[in-house]
Amino acid sequence: MRVRLLALGTRMPAWVEAGVTEYSRRLAGDIRLEIEEIGLPRRGSHVDTATLVAREADALRKRLAKYPGAETIALEVTGRRLDTQRLARELGNRRDLSQDLCILVGGPDGLCPALSAECHQRWSLSDLTLPHPLVRILVAEQVYRAWTLLAGHPYHR
């Protein structure tokens, strides 16, 4: 099973790459984490926010088209909160069904509401607004932590 984090924005700081790489490296065989960066549309003073968000949604939809059958999750502050045990159950269920997961991270102005509504689920990482670099590491660590629960590894205590 593959968990793909489709994230708008590129050029993350080295510490983000190092953190994501470390947690991805720790995952063994049955669950894999992949981060796919999607470039942001060009911003200018003549382009309104709604147009930018719609362009970002189009870019995400194009990427999602490469993964038919994947469960899609929108990360939204208003989404459903999961604890680590629930995340482990969600990942375990998808793994048992051999179903990949695509988790969407919006751009600076959030996800397009229409795209969010098209997703199978909406999850919240926090009531706080988190910076995109931190979201990547947080998702990577939580996927790893959930995998350790499924594998009976002592990392999660």
d(CA 141, CA 33): 10
- 101 known member of a binding site: no
* Nearest partner of 51 among 91, 109, 127, 7, judged by Cα: 109
SS (H, E, C) 22-61: HHHHHCCCCCEEEEEEECCCCCCCCCCHHHHHHHHHHHHH
* Nearest partner of 143 among 61, 50, 27, judged by Cα: 27
**Pair 142, 83: CB distance under 8 Å:** no
d(CA 36, CA 63): 9
- 125 known member of a binding site: yes
d(CA 81, CA 155): 22
- 127 known member of a binding site: yes
Instruction: Return binding residues for S-adenosyl-L-methionine.
Output: 75, 106, 125-130
Instruction: Return binding residues.
Output: 75, 106, 125-130
